[in-house]
C-alpha cells in the first residue's frame, strides 16, 4: 500500500482478499499449499475475506492509521467489524455515501457470480 499511496497526502485505502480459494487453477502445488495455509491461518477461513492492509486518514485528528496483514490475520469477527467500520469513518462520522457505493459494487459482483 505504501507504493500506491506514496504520492497522496491523506490516503484512505484498504486491500481485501475475498473468498477462501485464492489461487489459480493452474497454480503449482506448492503455491496452492501456501495459499491454503494462509486461508486456514487467517479470517478467510471463517469470514471468507481478509484484510491484507489498510491506511486511513482521520480528518478530525489529522492522524493516519495503518494496519498490516500480520496484525489483521488473526482478528475475530468483532475485531474485523471494527476495522471495517473504522475504514468508513473519517473522524467526522461514518461515510454512508462511500459505504453505499461499495455495497452496490459488491452486490453487482455477487450477481455476476450467482449467474455463472
Domain residues for 44?
2-114
Does pLDDT of 2 surpass 80? no
Tell which residue, 78, 99, 87, has the closest CA to residue 54: 87
Question: What does the pLDDT read at residue 1?
Answer: 66
Number of independent structural domains in the chain: 1
**Going by C-beta distance under 8 Å and a sequence separation of 6 or more, which residues neighbour residue 88?**
94, 95, 98, 99
pTM (whole model) above 0.85: no
Query: pLDDT higher for 43 or 100?
Result: 100
Q: Pairing relation of β-strands 49-57 and 64-68? A: antiparallel
CATH number for the domain harbouring residue 77: 3.30.470.160
* Tens digits of residue pLDDT in 68-103: 888 888 888 999 999 999 999 988 999 999 999 999
Amino acid at each position: 500500500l505504501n507504493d500506491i499511496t506514496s504520492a497522496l497526502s491523506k490516503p484512505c485505502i484498504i486491500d481485501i482478499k475475498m473468498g477462501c480459494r485464492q489461487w489459480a487453477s493452474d497454480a503449482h502445488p506448492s503455491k496452492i499449499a501456501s495459499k491454503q495455509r494462509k486461508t486456514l491461518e487467517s479470517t478467510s477461513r471463517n469470514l471468507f475475506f481478509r484484510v491484507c492492509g489498510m491506511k486511513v486518514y482521520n480528518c478530525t485528528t489529522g492522524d493516519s492509521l495503518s494496519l498490516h496483514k500480520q496484525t489483521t490475520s488473526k482478528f475475530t469477527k468483532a475485531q474485523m467489524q471494527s476495522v471495517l467500520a473504522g475504514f468508513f469513518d473519517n473522524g467526522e462520522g461514518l461515510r454512508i455515501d462511500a459505504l453505499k457505493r461499495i455495497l452496490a459494487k459488491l452486490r453487482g459482483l455477487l450477481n455476476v457470480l450467482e449467474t455463472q
